[in-house]
Amino acid sequence: MPRIALYTLVVCVLAVAAAVVSFVQGSWLGIVWVLLAGLSSNMTWYYVKRGRTEAARDTSVTS
């Protein structure tokens, strides 16, 4: 897994935690955290997929 995918995964988990805390405290600011969690989740999947295709391409070139 590429390092940037791990970073975006951490951001996603922290954004979800922040959204839960915001909603528990009665703040509507949690909506922003939910949107950030969705964005970072999509970025995580993109970088994981990109890392897998690069790894597959590297192994097929060396074979």
pTM to 2 decimals?
0.84
User: What are the b/e assignments for 26-41, b being 16+ CB within 10 Å?
Assistant: eeeebeebbebbeebb
With respect to residue 34, please indicate whether it lies within any of the assigned structural domains. yes
| Enclosing domain of residue 20 | 3-51
Q: Is the pLDDT of residue 46 over 70?
A: yes
* Helix-helix angle 3-24:30-62, to 10 degrees: 160
Q: What average pLDDT does the structure give for the chain?
A: 93
Q: Is the pLDDT of residue 51 over 80?
A: yes
Q: What is the largest CA-CA distance in the chain?
A: 57
With respect to residue 56, please indicate whether it lies within any of the assigned structural domains. no
Rounded CA separation 60/62 (Å)? 6
DSSP run (H or E) holding 41 = helix 30-62
| Number of domains forming the structure of the chain | 1
With respect to residue 43, please indicate whether it lies within any of the assigned structural domains. yes
Q: Quote the pLDDT of residue 60.
A: 80
| Structure confidence at residue 58 as a pLDDT band (50, 70, 90) | confident
Q: Quote the pLDDT of residue 63.
A: 60
